[in-house]
Structure 1
Amino acid sequence: MNSRTDFIYLNEQDMIRAGVQDMEKCIDSMEDMFVLLHKGDYRMGGENANEHGIRVSFPKTTDVEGMPIHKPDFRFMAMPAYLGGRFKMFGIKSYGSNPDNTQKGLPRSILMMQLLDATTGVPLAYMSANILSAMRTGATSGVGARHLTIKNPKTVAIIGPGIMSKYTMDAFLSAQPTIEIVKIKGRSQKGIDSFISYCKEKFPTIKEYITCDKLDEVCKDADIVFYGTTNASKYEDNPTVKKEWLKPGALVIAASALLVDTEFLSDKKVKLISDNYKMYDGWGSGQPLPTQKNVSTLLGMGFYDAVTEGRIMRESITEMGEILAGKKTGRDNDDQILLYAVGGMPIEDVAWGYDVYMNAIEKGIGTKLNLWEKPAL
């Protein structure tokens, strides 16, 4: 019996050559993932199998010499998951995030992805995951653009024009090529200029860019409104959205901080869509309310708070997997406003990581590394 075990290492350029930036296929992969999520053919961390990941944070003050100090977006995480169906794969995404990295010429977050055989635990691949993670985040929003917008949307609003929003724009244009106007609100002119330059180079069909100073201004007349900001230093400074800012039929997608009052969430003319409500339920269980302030500023935590406080019924929240599996409808009419909460799940990384890995195997891309000729233990 041959017990030699090898796996492949894929650096960032290997990942690009293996198709990690193919947005249309990534959106397809996310759709497959959502259907398996609905069927229950997946596992994530924690007792409820729905944990976003395991986070290592740091104290606000310490007497320990050399111990890092807490700051917004400074964390280390491991995100394990199993995804069944055509994937049948276990994976772990890990990353460190530090906002000071940019001063050193590094990305704020540096991510790696490991794939393992779901039966034996044998490692199959270790891969650069910054682009992979940005792609799956954009593609998850792209699923919303593909299935929840009005027909032929024209205008997109971007709040927080960073890396996440750049990849999300790729997903939006892939899902809805009729988009031709982009409205932008950012915290710095440098970030806004970088976003516009990126879009002008990559999306020549966009006809107009409009920079806005206020949230109500950027949301006005937009068919799709995307929130992609990093957390503000103060909770109260995180962005919000109000119904009166939005046109009838608008789709609001939040993949980051977004505070929404419960009157908006409980409005019968507003439909709430979640990527995976059980994940927010697991985060919030046993935590002080509001969990948006005490746990996470994600829109999904706002959904959880509204349910826990009895302001809306759990049944009023539709899961994206239910829509893709044909169990429930997405948009019910052209005037309906939809709020789609995207929180990020490691099963997304497993899905897209697996597809890129299979492309790499088919094309002979990557460096083969040996684990052992024969295990010593």
Structure 2
Amino acid sequence: MDSLQMLYLSKEDVMKVNVSMEEIIQSLERMFRLKGEGKTEMPPKPGIHTQKDAFIHAMPAYIPDMNVAGVKWVSGYPDNYKSGLPYITGLMILNSPATGIPLAVMDCTWVTAKRTGAATAVAAKYMARPESHTLGILGCGVQGESNLEALMIVQKQIRTVYTYDIFPQKTESFITKMALQYPQVEFIKAAIPKDAVVDCDIIVTTGPILKEPEPVIEAEWFKEGSFASPVDFDSYWKPAAMHLSAKFCTDDYEQMMYYKQDGYFRNIPEVYADLGQIIAGQKPGRENNQERIMSVNLGLALEDMAVGTIIYERAVQMKLGTWLPL
């Protein structure tokens, strides 16, 4: 019997595989369609909490049609920046669906960033107005960049991006970097959160996830016809603003209810649909230009698996990583 071994992929290895954002969006759209059709398996993610607003989550999932099974073990520590450390860190393990034997262990930070932005883009494809041309981004870190990258692929009319961060220097760095990548876009630094919301067709908030948030976005800022993607749950949005949504959606209903039982989402509207239901055609997305629509994507293990399997297969072909004995 051959010796059992698995492939270890560092963050650098994962990035070298160079999976494009277009591919990630396509893979997630396919996955959400399968999810809507009931062809995936994913329990709500359990977690432990060693500090206030910090989490370490276990995220298992199985997608038969993509021949991928595994788990992501990921942490989020909002105060890590004080020590020069990233907010999100963790590992992803892929197992053989046929035998259960571990195939690979890889850094998950790049995957987490890219798939989160891609999920916003998939939701926007079905729920934002196609002619949307103004985007507001509140939170100019890794997720701000990832969400912008993904939205520029599916919302090709975006020409103005308003940016806000509680740390002004992050806003300035974000604009300097992103203006080089998207010279066709005008980037405007917002002095206050309101300026990054009121005139925007699409609003993305990417601050830390807080169990006891102090939201600032008022109902009157959420203009008619806009689409909002609160990547940070309800940390930025006041309940009255969220309740203006004609359609309040999420990427996984059961997981949202699991979070609600744990003390998050204390005052949210009734969930209209799961993103998988919309992509599978079971419920309509945007139906007119007047609807305010919000999709709170919680971040799914299914997304990680849909991207992780591409990375693993290509890394093997490219001879990247280090083989380790089991």
Match for residue 157 of structure 1 among 116, 136, 146? 136
* Secondary structure at 2:199 match in 1: coil
CA contact (8 A) 2:70 2:92 kept: yes
Q: 1:101 to 1:247 in 2, by over 3 A?
A: closer
CA contact (8 A) 1:239 1:257 kept: no
Shift of 1:263: 8.1
Match for residue 57 of structure 1 among 45, 49, 58? 49
CA contact (8 A) 2:121 2:154 kept: yes
Number of the residue aligned with 1:43 = 41
Question: 1:60-75 maps to which residues of 2 (within 5 A)?
Answer: 70-72=51-53, 74-75=54-55
CA contact (8 A) 2:78 2:208 kept: no
Residue identity opposite 2:192 in structure 1 = D
Matched, 1:229 2:207: yes
Residue identity opposite 1:246 in structure 2 = F
Residue identity opposite 1:222 in structure 2 = C
CA contact (8 A) 2:242 2:294 kept: no
- Alpha-carbon distance between aligned partners in 2 of 1:236 and 1:170, rounded to the nearest angstrom: 27
List per-residue Cα deviations over 1:162-194 (Å, max 9, x = no partner): 211111111111112221111122211122122
Matched, 1:247 2:223: yes
CA RMSD in angstroms comes to: 2.2
Shift of 1:19: 1.9
Q: 1:341 to 1:100 in 2, by over 3 A?
A: closer
Number of the residue aligned with 2:109 = 130
Shift of 1:350: 0.8
Q: Calculate percent identity across the aligned residue pairs.
A: 27
Number of the residue aligned with 1:88 = 67
CA contact (8 A) 2:96 2:102 kept: yes
List per-residue Cα deviations over 1:105-153 (Å, max 9, x = no partner): 3212212111001231111111111110111111000102222221232
Match for residue 359 of structure 1 among 302, 314, 317? 314
Matched, 1:78 2:33: no
Give the greater-gyration-radius structure (CA).
Answer: 1
Match for residue 257 of structure 1 among 233, 238, 243? 233
Residue identity opposite 1:247 in structure 2 = K
CA contact (8 A) 2:217 2:241 kept: no
CA contact (8 A) 1:220 1:247 kept: yes
Matched, 1:171 2:126: no
Shift of 1:39: 1.8
Poorly superposed stretches of 4+, deviation over 4 Å: none
Q: Could you tell me the TM-score, scaled by structure 2's length?
A: 0.91
Residue identity opposite 2:249 in structure 1 = I
Number of the residue aligned with 1:195 = 174
Shift of 1:222: 0.6
- Alpha-carbon distance between aligned partners in 2 of 1:101 and 1:248, rounded to the nearest angstrom: 37
CA contact (8 A) 2:218 2:240 kept: no
Number of the residue aligned with 2:84 = 105
Number of the residue aligned with 1:274 = 250
Q: 1:264 to 1:93 in 2, by over 3 A?
A: closer
Match for residue 329 of structure 1 among 275, 284, 302? 284
CA contact (8 A) 2:233 2:298 kept: no
Q: 1:172 to 1:237 in 2, by over 3 A?
A: same
Q: 1:322 to 1:97 in 2, by over 3 A?
A: closer
Q: 1:319 to 1:15 in 2, by over 3 A?
A: same
